[in-house]
A and B are shown apart, each in its own frame.
Chain A
Amino acid sequence: MKMHAIPGLALLLALTQAAPAQSPDRSTPPLPGPPPSLRLPPVQRVHLENGLPLMLMEKHTVPLVQLTLVVRTGSVRDPAGKEGLAAMTAALMTRGAGARDALALAEAVDYLGASLTAEAGRHTSSVSLFTPRAQLEEGLRLLADVILRPAFPDSELSRERALRLTTMVQWRSSPEVLADLALQQLLFGASHPYGRPVLGSAPGIAALSPADLREFHGRWYHSGNAAMIVVGDVTLEELQPRLEEVLAGWPSGPEIAGNVRPAEQVAGRRVILLDQPAAPQTQIRIGRIGAPRITDDYYALVVMNTVLGGSFSSRLNTNLREVHGYGYGAGSDFDCRLLPGPFVVWSAVESAVTDSALMEIFRELERIRQPLPEPEVAKARNYLALSYPAAFQTVTSIALQLDEMATYGLPEDYFNRYVDSILAVSADDAQRVAQRYIDPQSMVVVLVGDRSAIEHRVRALELGTFELLTIDQLLGPAPAVPAATSATDVR
């Protein structure tokens, strides 16, 4: 053992270990055997009598069930002046439904040990029940109340409005949140639904009425505009009659086509600095408009981004964290949505090295467009393909996979084809999509940090136009949060 060379330890070892065990050959790492195959239960697909599609994957290893109703509406459907309507509608669905007011409903759900949530995304919203198998029947009744019979009382809207406006006040003290918000707004513009948070805007939230919420719910939450996803310890024979019973009479309606146009690509390079005096780090976001989820380039993009910034050993993390120690980490992401979403490089670096970090990031953005070494691409392919089964361990993570399938209309054999599609990506493919989607000359650079420490040196890089941004310019004036209108101490 080479460890015996360490002074002091040798003596100790002599006392504690009589005969050293035989050492294995460590000269080369043991090679993995042939990849194991993932045998997934089938996705069972039926339609309920009201037309609602149902997708079920049975999983009987732990007595849990996850149900997710995916509804095709989200913040992209917020009317001008009522930004935040989709998110508020979803949030209020669990604040009183059927015969129960908000507190009684929450108590009933928690007593089951279940959780029942509703939330909006950009294109889809979801109502989800996570429950122990033993409580499924009671949980389904509560879920159906929330989907079909939400009350939307004015008192709950007032409460939730105040909570959300206060959240927006809190955003103003988080450099991380400010950087994210600034980048999406600068990429897409404040009038594009991708340019603002799903939560909406302060004036939009202030303008919402219960009638708006009822109208939005009636228009979008119907069986012709949704899909029910179920994963867990239940069979189709057990589940279907229960769902038919509790969702009976849910009306159908037309699917309404999309209403959003893709945003214009970034022209040139802009650097935007939001001052945070005395901040010890600079939050960095660099981005442009990326790709949609449905594109022939999808798998090549995923592989290429894994090389660039989608894994721990990626180029960005290795460079900024491991080689230079500029920050705790760095990475990149293509957020592929129904329309092209953002491509983002992110990091947070010590203030004094902000300019050096920017240079390294742009070096990597140039380098990813050069021919990619085959072993590096192979590593990324294998990482994605071989780790794929791990996404199928929990009922919640499987439901997310099925949600993606339903949202983007992916083919029925998508899970079975994923691995082969990833493994088919060549180094040339990866370079081609890097050149197509990553143009370092067309980028928005957002810096949230200490202006006095970083402005001079960042300007000297001459990356592009340089602008200062204030929190008020980004978010508007701090929203006035209405105080509780009346003392509602009911106990």
Chain B
Amino acid sequence: MLRLFLLLSLAMPALAQDPRLSVPYRLFTLPNGLTVILHEDHTTPSIGVNLWFRVGSARERAGRTGMAHLFEHLMFEGSAHVPEGMFDLLLEAAGGDNNASTSSDRTNYWIDIPSNALELALYLESDRMGSLLQTMTPQTVDGQRDVVKNERRQNYENAPYGMAWMVLAEHLYPEDHPYHWPTIGYMEDLSRASYEDVSAFFRTYYSPNNSSLCVAGDIDPRETERLVRLWFSDIPRGPAPAPVAVPPIPETGEQRLVMQDRVQLPRLYLLWHTPALFAPGDAELDLLAHILSEGEHSRLYRRLVYERQIAQDVAAFQYSQTLGSTFWIVATARPGVGLGTLEQAIEQELDELCAEGPTARETERARNQIDVSFLTRLERVGGIYGKADLLNAYYTWTGNPDYFQEDRARYGAVAPDDLRAVAMKYLGSTMRVVLSVVPEGSLQLASGSGTEVHPR
């Protein structure tokens, strides 16, 4: 579906040796503070126009959750010179596709367009950045409020295990922490969001100095710079948003939770707090995730799914975020198997990993897999994870759009013993959240005892 709300993990490595793998760029800043990044790739006559705003659900407050994502929807509903509905009509008539996504840390908007229609894309992007509020009405807010509520019903409330995410965020982070609530927001908050709230949100965060624009693909850089200056220069600078306040996470020890859901099979979630995106330990946890659950011979898959056949699936991943990350292990039980059995088996594998560390071969294998995932992201110029999106991500989080080699070096430098140390430090910690999602009426399938939770 279009206008997806996505969970993004932005850690991505690079390969150094091949000259085709560098991503040369040009960067300049307009007087109003908009940073512009240009990259040439003439493989196909296509261009990715990618705009990041440094605002996500972490900027919301209690009682107004879901605002960043609701706002993302409103960006498609018309601006001063683009009547409602015309944004998509004009782009589609030119062969363009577009979408956006919101996470806790940022909102990105992308337009993929044939190279003859670049100026149209810049016109549309600059018009909504410069004049969204001139045409936005309480009615447009109401219209997208309904759409977003249905997005929440479809992807969370009416989807198996869909509400686990909400419960986990609430228990991982204290009430005043910006990651305490889900990006999609609570239903009552979506009802409450007013036209005034939305307008204030735009004025505070949707300014050129709080965003960066990347244009990658079949472009002439000089002409592209001229067009960007033409269309974006008259947008006034906005306030500089204050840094997000991040309260400390209290030492709560282990929290054990149980939730009933309309599912056939119980599912276990184990979550730990881990280092932020690009912080020391972040790359190591990516590698550990591969070693634990990528491929049939990975430690958890092999033990739980392949050999003992007590799980239907198991996934481990480092969910990297800028204010602090989480490491997830998620496993679904086979029919007739309780989650206690799964937790015990996972525990055993983690103990072994923390005690002995991975082998050199396991470490190299994980590194090779991550290397290729980076190559695939160099193939496309647009969309989510295309080159325009990557340059913007690297620029936003590190200040350097060409962070590819540094990023890859993070993975290259890691030895098995480093992984053992990181596993012990973070996954050996007892400060974690353990959630059992069980079929309605089957509380006995939960792992151990826990507080029953009811998602909002």
- The residues of A with any CB-CB pair to B shorter than 8 Å are 1-4, 6, 8-9, 12-13, 16-17, 20-24, 26-27, 29-38, 59-64, 102-103, 106-107, 109-114, 132, 159, 162-163, 166-167, 169-170, 172-176, 276, 279-281, 311-313, 318, 321-322, 325-329, 348-350, 378-380, 382-383, 385-390, 392-395, 478, 481, 483-484, 487-491
| Interface pair B368/A113, CB less than 8 Å apart | yes
| Interface pair B265/A170, CB less than 8 Å apart | yes
| Interface pair A62/B92, CB less than 8 Å apart | no
Q: Which of A37, A170, A175, A176 contacts B45 (CB 8 A)?
A: A37
Give the residues from 132 to 178 in chain B that come closer than 8 angstroms, CB to CB, to chain A. 133-134, 142-147, 149-151, 153-155, 157-160
| Interface pair A2/B131, CB less than 8 Å apart | yes
- CB A233 to nearest CB in B, in angstroms, measures 9
Chain B residue contacts of A6, Cβ below 8 A: 133, 203
Q: A13-B237, A174-B160, A280-B158 are in contact. Are A387 and B114 (CB under 8 A)?
A: yes
| Interface pair B46/A107, CB less than 8 Å apart | no
Closest A residue, CB atoms, query B233: A21
Closest B residue, CB atoms, query A174: B160
Q: Which of B32, B115, B264 contacts A173 (CB 8 A)?
A: B264
CA–CA, A77 to B223, complex, Å? 57
- For residue B296, CB closer than 8 A to chain A, the reply is yes
| Interface pair A383/B92, CB less than 8 Å apart | yes
Chain A residue contacts of B43, Cβ below 8 A: 59, 61, 393
| Interface pair B150/A173, CB less than 8 Å apart | no
| Interface pair B309/A26, CB less than 8 Å apart | no
| Interface pair A1/B364, CB less than 8 Å apart | no
Closest A residue, CB atoms, query B373: A113
- CB A308 to nearest CB in B, in angstroms, measures 14
| Interface pair B88/A313, CB less than 8 Å apart | yes
Q: Which of A2, A170, A379 contacts B160 (CB 8 A)?
A: A170
| Interface pair B312/A36, CB less than 8 Å apart | no
Q: Which of A383, A395, A487 contacts B95 (CB 8 A)?
A: A383
| Interface pair A329/B297, CB less than 8 Å apart | no
CA–CA, A57 to B198, complex, Å? 50
| Interface pair B116/A36, CB less than 8 Å apart | yes
Could you say which of B92, B120, B130, B143 has the most chain A C-beta atoms within 10 Å of its C-beta? B92
Q: Can you list 22 A-B contacts with CB-CB less than 8 angstroms, sorted by A residue number? A: A1-B130, A3-B130, A4-B236, A16-B236, A16-B237, A20-B234, A37-B45, A62-B21, A63-B21, A114-B372, A132-B371, A170-B312, A174-B160, A280-B157, A281-B154, A327-B147, A328-B155, A350-B149, A378-B93, A379-B89, A392-B44, A488-B307
- CB B197 to nearest CB in A, in angstroms, measures 15
CA–CA, A276 to B157, complex, Å? 13
- For residue B8, CB closer than 8 A to chain A, the reply is no
| Interface pair B234/A393, CB less than 8 Å apart | no
Q: Report the 3 A-B pairs with minimum CB-CB distance, sorted nearest first.
A: A386-B95, A325-B146, A36-B45
Closest A residue, CB atoms, query B366: A110
Q: A110-B295, A280-B157 are in contact. Are A27 and B143 (CB under 8 A)?
A: no
| Interface pair A350/B361, CB less than 8 Å apart | no
- The residues of B with any CB-CB pair to A shorter than 8 Å are 1-2, 18, 20-21, 31-32, 41, 43-46, 80-82, 85, 88-90, 92-97, 112, 114-117, 119-120, 123-124, 127, 130-131, 133-134, 142-147, 149-151, 153-155, 157-160, 203, 218, 230-231, 233-239, 262-265, 294-297, 302-303, 305-310, 312, 332, 334-336, 361, 364-365, 368-369, 371-372, 375-376, 378-382
Q: Which of A3, A12, A322, A387 contacts B131 (CB 8 A)?
A: A3
| Interface pair A488/B308, CB less than 8 Å apart | yes
| Interface pair A173/B262, CB less than 8 Å apart | yes
CA–CA, A166 to B334, complex, Å? 7
Closest B residue, CB atoms, query A177: B160
| Interface pair B295/A30, CB less than 8 Å apart | no
Q: A166-B312, A325-B143 are in contact. Are A17 and B237 (CB under 8 A)?
A: yes
Q: A102-B296, A349-B150, A379-B92 are in contact. Are A162 and B309 (CB under 8 A)?
A: yes
Q: Which of A9, A110, A378 contacts B365 (CB 8 A)?
A: A110
Q: Which of A20, A59, A322, A382 contacts B236 (CB 8 A)?
A: A20
| Interface pair B203/A9, CB less than 8 Å apart | yes
Chain A residue contacts of B375, Cβ below 8 A: 62-64, 132
Closest B residue, CB atoms, query A176: B159
| Interface pair B334/A481, CB less than 8 Å apart | yes
Q: A61-B20, A162-B334, A348-B150 are in contact. Are A32 and B1 (CB under 8 A)?
A: no
Chain A residue contacts of B231, Cβ below 8 A: 24
| Interface pair B158/A279, CB less than 8 Å apart | yes
CA–CA, A438 to B411, complex, Å? 55
| Interface pair A12/B239, CB less than 8 Å apart | yes
Chain A residue contacts of B265, Cβ below 8 A: 166, 169-170
Chain A residue contacts of B92, Cβ below 8 A: 311-313, 379-380, 382-383
CA–CA, A6 to B134, complex, Å? 9
| Interface pair B368/A111, CB less than 8 Å apart | yes
Could you say which of A13, A22, A327, A395 has the most chain B C-beta atoms within 10 Å of its C-beta? A327
CA–CA, A393 to B233, complex, Å? 32
Chain B residue contacts of A109, Cβ below 8 A: 295
| Interface pair B2/A312, CB less than 8 Å apart | yes
Q: A322-B143, A327-B150, A327-B154 are in contact. Are A132 and B372 (CB under 8 A)?
A: yes
- CB B204 to nearest CB in A, in angstroms, measures 10
| Interface pair B134/A106, CB less than 8 Å apart | no
CA–CA, A235 to B254, complex, Å? 57
Q: A36-B45, A387-B114 are in contact. Are A318 and B85 (CB under 8 A)?
A: yes
Q: A172-B264, A386-B94 are in contact. Are A62 and B368 (CB under 8 A)?
A: no
Chain A residue contacts of B307, Cβ below 8 A: 488-491
CA–CA, A112 to B367, complex, Å? 10
CA–CA, A322 to B231, complex, Å? 28
Q: A26-B127, A327-B150, A489-B307 are in contact. Are A107 and B365 (CB under 8 A)?
A: yes
- CB A328 to nearest CB in B, in angstroms, measures 4
Q: A61-B20, A325-B146 are in contact. Are A1 and B234 (CB under 8 A)?
A: yes
CA–CA, A174 to B302, complex, Å? 27
CA–CA, A174 to B20, complex, Å? 44
Chain A residue contacts of B124, Cβ below 8 A: 29
CA–CA, A465 to B119, complex, Å? 53
- CB B73 to nearest CB in A, in angstroms, measures 10
Chain B residue contacts of A20, Cβ below 8 A: 234, 236
Q: Which of B154, B336, B365 contacts A348 (CB 8 A)?
A: B154
| Interface pair B230/A24, CB less than 8 Å apart | yes
| Interface pair A30/B44, CB less than 8 Å apart | no
Chain B residue contacts of A107, Cβ below 8 A: 295, 297, 365
Closest B residue, CB atoms, query A327: B150
CA–CA, A229 to B353, complex, Å? 41
With A321-B147, A390-B382, A483-B334 given, name 10 new contacts (CB 8 A). A3-B134, A29-B82, A30-B119, A32-B119, A34-B116, A313-B88, A322-B143, A392-B44, A484-B310, A488-B308
Q: A64-B375, A327-B154 are in contact. Are A110 and B120 (CB under 8 A)?
A: no
Chain B residue contacts of A312, Cβ below 8 A: 2, 88, 92
CA–CA, A386 to B372, complex, Å? 30
| Interface pair A62/B378, CB less than 8 Å apart | yes
- CB A64 to nearest CB in B, in angstroms, measures 6
Chain B residue contacts of A175, Cβ below 8 A: 158
Q: Which of B1, B44, B361, B376 contacts A111 (CB 8 A)?
A: B361
Chain B residue contacts of A276, Cβ below 8 A: 262
Could you say which of A22, A62, A348, A388 has the most chain B C-beta atoms within 10 Å of its C-beta? A62
Q: A327-B154, A378-B93 are in contact. Are A393 and B203 (CB under 8 A)?
A: no
Q: A113-B372, A329-B2 are in contact. Are A484 and B93 (CB under 8 A)?
A: no
- CB B352 to nearest CB in A, in angstroms, measures 9
Q: Which of B150, B310, B334 contacts A350 (CB 8 A)?
A: B150
CA–CA, A167 to B294, complex, Å? 20
| Interface pair A169/B123, CB less than 8 Å apart | no
CA–CA, A250 to B305, complex, Å? 34
CA–CA, A17 to B32, complex, Å? 7
Closest B residue, CB atoms, query A393: B380
